[in-house]
Amino acid sequence: MAFTYGAYTACLQDRSLSEALDVLAGASLKGAELNTGGFIPSPHAHVDALLASEKERGELRALFADKGMELTGLTVSGNPLSPLPTEGLPHAHDLRRTIELAGSLGVRDVVAMSGTPGTDPGARYPAWIVNPWNGIDLEILEHQWSVAVPFWKEIDALARERDVQLAFEMHPRNLVFSPLTFEQFLDRVEPTNIGVNLDPSHLFWQQMEPIDCIERLGAHITHVHAKDTAVLPGAAVRGVLDTAFDPVPEDPAQRTPTGIGHYCSTWPEDPAWRFVALGEGHDVDYWTRFLTALAAVSPDLSVNIEHEDAAFGKVEGLERGARTLLAAAEAAGV
């Protein structure tokens, strides 16, 4: 058993899948993770066609074989618990179809998010409770768990039936965003086929130490995103939970999409943090220790670069990240 190093192809969605795989192979990567719904498009995996046709699935497998690459995961990150009609039901539908597709393709890993319900049965928008020191916030959380638990019990059963392993991104603005909230999920849902996608960038952002999180989560880690975060000087006065952003630009040409119909707010000029290319926030020595810690708890993982650093081009950022990741892998001997 060994790690498979690859990349999530969402940043290359302007290229065909064949072209995207060539980019990854050119960076000496061996695996690829494809998006299949949720917040962002899925140009590299035509889910309807793949579900309907063994011929389509065979052609996808053949393409990966021809390129000497491995399909190491499907990603359907969204908010399946959202009260918004444009999010909750469509994202839950995407999640179920992705699990079915993964089972049909023989792909083990499906990356998802735990989701965020509203504050009460009549809520119009999802609401993330950050720190429930105020007692009423605990009441909101209890309502949110009452929505989440039966949904994820059903999804866990579907994943078990299809022999698929779900992996939650511990992402802010979700019920599960830390090791402790994942442990709450374990206690309430008692899943057999839902673990963690260890994405250190979301942990750095929250001022956690990913290596400590790896040791805490242990074998619950079933998938990994290799992604970096830089905490910047602005954090000294803004903090990492800063809400002082400006609205989405009115000019569509200046907008940064974060999903289908979703756009990034305008960031401050001196932000507290930002996602950066792998190696721009933490050096090879850090990533060597990170991979060593992972190997100690889960010796058979897919580790996929997720490139979201606007300071570098799509290919340039992937290549920089691959150099850092593969140098760390060599140093760690994994």
Q: What is the pLDDT of residues 120-159, one digit of tens each?
A: 999 999 999 988 988 899 999 999 999 999 999 999 999 9
pLDDT at 264 (0 to 100):
80
Q: Rounded to an integer, what is the distance from CA 86 to the centroid of its chain?
A: 20
Identify the pLDDT of residue 249.
87
Gap between the terminal Cα atoms of the chain: 10
324 Cβ partners below 8 Å, 6+ apart?
278, 279, 283, 284, 287
For residue range 98-115, list pLDDT tens digits in order.
Answer: 999 999 999 999 999 999
Residues 271-282 have pLDDT tens digits of 999 999 999 999
Q: Enumerate domains of the chain plus CATH numbers.
A: 4-332 (3.20.20.150)
So what's the pLDDT on residue 321?
A: 97
Residue type, 149: V
Say how far apart CA 75 and CA 59 lie, in whole Å: 20
pLDDT value, residue 259: 64
Helix extents (H) in the chain: 17-26, 47-52, 54-67, 88-105, 135-162, 179-189, 200-205, 210-217, 235-238, 284-297, 314-332
The CA distance from 86 to 93, in Å, is 12
Q: Three-state SS string across 47-80, please?
A: HHHHHHCHHHHHHHHHHHHHHCCEEEEEECCCCC
d(CA 39, CA 87): 8
Residue 212 — very low, low, confident or very high, per pLDDT cuts 50/70/90? very high
Nearest partner of 107 among 43, 153, 152, 64, judged by Cα: 64
pLDDT band at 258; cut points 50, 70, 90: low
Which letter, b or e, does each residue of 260-271 get, where b requires 16 or more Cβ atoms within 10 Å of its Cβ? eeeeeeeeeeeb
pTM over 0.85: yes
The one-letter amino acid at 306 = E
For residue 58, the tally of other CB atoms under 10 A from its CB is: 10
DSSP, res 172 = T
Average pLDDT for residues 297-318, to the nearest whole number? 94
Residue 326 has pLDDT above 90, yes or no: yes
% pLDDT > 70, the chain: 99
228 forms beta bridges with: 276
Beta-bridge mates of residue 230? 274
Kindly report, residue by residue over 39-56, the tens digit of the pLDDT.
988 999 999 999 999 999
Burial 26-36 (b: 16+ CB within 10 A, else e): ebebbbbbbbb
Contact call for residues 144 and 116 (beta carbons, < 8 A): yes
